Chains A and B, each alone.
Chain A
Amino acid sequence: MESILKIEHVSKTYTGHKALDDVSMEVPRGSIYGLLGPNGAGKTTLIRVVNHMTIPDCGKVWFEGHEITADDIYQIGYMPEERGLYKKMKVGEQAVFFARMRGMGRQQAVRKLHEWFDRLGLLDWWDKKVEDLSKGMAQKVQFITTVVHEPKLLIFDEPFSGFDPINANLLKQEILGLRDRGATVIFSTHNMESVEEICDDITLINKSNNILSGSVEEIRRKAGGNTFQVLYSGTHEDFCAAVTGKANLIGQSEGVIGGYTQQKIHIPSDDNVRAVIGSLNDKVQLRSFQEIIPSMNDIFIRAVNGTL
Chain B
Amino acid sequence: MNKIGLIVEREFAERVRKKSFIVSTLLTPLFMIAMMVLPSVLMLKGNSDTKNVVVIDNSPEQFVGKQLTSGKTVSFNLLDEGVTLNAARMQYKSEYGILVIGSDILDNPQNLQLILNDASSMSVEESIQSQIQGILRTERLKRYNLENMDQILADANVRVNGLQTLKNNDQEDESNMEKTSTTASWLMGLILGMMLYFILIVYGQQVLQSVIDEKQTRVLDVMVTSCTPFELMMGKILGIAVVAALQIVLWAVLVIATSAFVLPLIIGTADMEAATAAAMATSGAPEFAGLMAKVTNVGYLAGLFLELLLYIVGGFLFYASMYAAIGSAVDTPQDAAQFNGIIMMPVIVAIMVMMSVMNDPNSDLVFWCSMIPFTSPIVMMARIPFGIPTWQVVVSLVVLFISFFLMTWVAARIFRVGVFMHGKKPTWKDLGAWIKMK
* Known contacts A85-B219, A145-B222: A48-B420 contact under CB 8 Å: yes
The docked-state distance in angstroms from the alpha carbon of A53 to that of B421 is 10
B226 touching A86, Cβ below 8 Å: no
Q: Which residue of A lies closest to B10 (CB)?
A: A97
B432 to chain A, nearest CB (A): 15
Contact indicator per residue, chain A 54-91, by CB within 8 Å of chain B (1) or not (0):
11000000000000001001101111101111111100
B228 interface hit (Cβ, 8 Å): yes
A51 contacts chain B at the CB level, 8 A cutoff: yes
In the bound complex, CA of A89 to CA of B11 (Å): 10
- B420 touching A84, Cβ below 8 Å: no
Contact A73 B218 (CB under 8 A): no
Shortest Cβ distance from A48 into B: residue = B420
A-B contact count, CB below 8 Å?
Answer: 60
Nearest CB in chain A: distance from B78 CB, A: 70
A101 on interface, CB distance cutoff 8 Å:
yes
Complex Cα distance, B17 from A86, in Å, reads 14
Is B217 within 8 A of A97, CB to CB? no
Whether A100 is near chain B, meaning CB under 8 Å from some CB there, is: yes
A51 touches B225 (CB 8 A): yes
In the assembled complex, which residues on chain A have CB atoms less than 8 Å from the CB atom of B221? 53, 78, 80, 82, 84
In the complex, B142 has a CB within 8 A of chain A? no
Q: Chain A residues near B6 (CB, 8 Å)? A: 97, 100-101
**Is the CB of B223 closer than 8 A to any CB of chain A?**
yes
Rounded to whole angstroms, the CA-CA distance of A102 and B214 in the bound complex is: 18
* Contact (Cβ within 8 A) B226 A84: no
Find out whether the CB atom of B217 lies under 8 angstroms from the CB atom of A85: yes
A98 CB–B CB distance under 8 Å: yes
Contact with B along A12-45 (1 / 0, CB 8 A): 0000000000000000000000000000000000
Q: What residues of B have a CB within 8 angstroms of the CB of A84 in the complex?
A: 214, 217-223
Asked if B250 lies at the interface with its beta carbon under 8 angstroms from chain A, I say no
User: In residues 171-186 of chain B, which contact A (Cβ within 8 Å)?
Assistant: none
Residues in chain B near residue A48, CB distance under 8 A:
420
The answer to whether B125 has its CB under 8 Å from any CB of chain A is: no
Q: Contacts A85-B217, A86-B217, A88-B14 given; indicate if A101 touches B228 (C-beta within 8 A).
A: no
Q: List 6 A-B contacts (CB under 8 A).
A: A51-B224, A74-B225, A84-B219, A86-B14, A86-B219, A100-B6
4 pairs of A and B residues whose beta carbons are closest in the complex: A84-B218, A84-B219, A101-B226, A82-B218
> B residues engaging A (CB < 8 A)?
3, 6-7, 10, 14, 18, 214, 217-228, 420, 437-438
Q: A residues touching B (Cβ–Cβ < 8 Å)?
A: 48, 51, 53-55, 70, 73-74, 76-80, 82-89, 97-98, 100-102, 142, 145
